[in-house]
Amino acid sequence: MASTASVLKPEAHESKLNTGLSEQYRSEMADSLSEILATTYKLTIKSHIYHWNVVGPLFRSLHELTEEHYNELFEATDTIAERVRAIGFLAPERVADAAAFSPSGKAIANLTAEDMVNDLIHDHEEAVRAMRDAGEIAGDANDLVTEDMLTQRLTFHEKALWMLRAIVSK
What pLDDT, on a 0 to 100 scale, did the predictor assign at position 13?
A: 58
What pLDDT, on a 0 to 100 scale, did the predictor assign at position 108?
A: 78
pTM for the structure as a whole: 0.85
What pLDDT, on a 0 to 100 scale, did the predictor assign at position 74?
A: 96
What pLDDT, on a 0 to 100 scale, did the predictor assign at position 128?
A: 98
What pLDDT, on a 0 to 100 scale, did the predictor assign at position 109?
A: 80
Note down pLDDT in tens along the chain; length 170 residues. Answer: 555 555 555 565 555 777 889 999 999 999 999 999 989 988 999 999 999 999 999 899 999 999 999 999 999 999 999 999 999 998 876 555 555 556 655 677 888 999 999 999 999 999 999 999 999 999 999 999 999 999 999 999 999 999 999 999 88
**Which sequence spans correspond to the domains of the chain?**
19-168
What pLDDT, on a 0 to 100 scale, did the predictor assign at position 102?
A: 60
What pLDDT, on a 0 to 100 scale, did the predictor assign at position 88?
A: 92
Alpha-carbon gap, residue 75 to 5, rounded angstroms: 29
Alpha-carbon gap, residue 157 to 166, rounded angstroms: 14
Rounded to the nearest 10 degrees, the angle between the axes of helix 144-168 and helix 59-86 is: 170
8 A C-beta contact, residue 110 and residue 53: no
Q: Kindly report the CA angle at 169 between 166 and 170, in degrees rounded to 5?
A: 150
Buried b (16+ CB within 10 A) or exposed e, 127-152: bbebbeebbebbeebebeebbebbee
Alpha-carbon gap, residue 75 to 120, rounded angstroms: 18
Alpha-carbon gap, residue 164 to 121, rounded angstroms: 7
Indicate the class that CATH gives domain 19-168: mainly alpha
